[in-house]
A = this chain, B = another copy of it.
């Protein structure tokens, strides 16, 4: 994929947008620019409202919240093929809140100016559909987060998160601290849970990495409601 074709054809590769009306696609391509941001870029955050809507072509953005108590929790991730409309819209309306978006890897994204976004919503039924579906997905995800934080046991949540973060690999590069932010808990809690998993032979630990030894056992714990 060379930069040339990226500029003109990213819409085709975007799952939710490839079925747009040709006219809409043209508008989207002509009025947007592809940007590349390095890992750890703070894409939006307190006092840093993005002026564009982003459509992620590659990489992932982690959206997390910093509480007034100093605690942190990961709210959700935006993956390639998804857009930031929700968060962006929120920030435009209420820029005094504490969520921030951080590039977890190098990120390629198409930046669409707000005005163009508004035009597209007006013009294209299928674009509207895409936008509302994106909103819906986020909302239901947030409902799920609330449910988990409020009612799920820590061991179940951790098992679930380990499976999720492993993405099929047998090893995860992360620290106890980072895992605690994923789940909105304290590092010590993660340390103890991982020790218990290790004692049971489900995982192996070394500084900065967690190895998954028995995925099946972890999954069966994670699937407990």
Q: Is the CB of B118 within 8 A of A122?
A: no
Across the interface, which residues of B come within 8 angstroms of A19, CB to CB? none
Partner of A142, one of B68, B89, B139: B139
Residue of B98, B121, B135 touching A86 (CB-CB under 8 A): B135
Q: How far is the CA of A75 from the CA of B149 in the complex (A)?
A: 13
Given known contacts A71-B151, A87-B139, A139-B139, what 15 new A-B pairs fall within 8 Å (CB)? A68-B225, A69-B225, A71-B150, A73-B151, A75-B146, A90-B135, A90-B136, A118-B125, A121-B121, A139-B142, A142-B143, A146-B146, A146-B149, A149-B149, A149-B150
Question: Which A residues contact B (CB, under 8 angstroms)?
Answer: 65, 67-69, 71, 73, 75, 86-87, 89-90, 92-94, 97-99, 118, 121-123, 125, 128, 132-133, 135-140, 142-143, 145-147, 149-152, 184, 225
The 8 A-B residue pairs with the shortest CB-CB distance, nearest first, are A93-B136, A68-B225, A150-B184, A90-B136, A71-B151, A142-B142, A67-B151, A149-B150
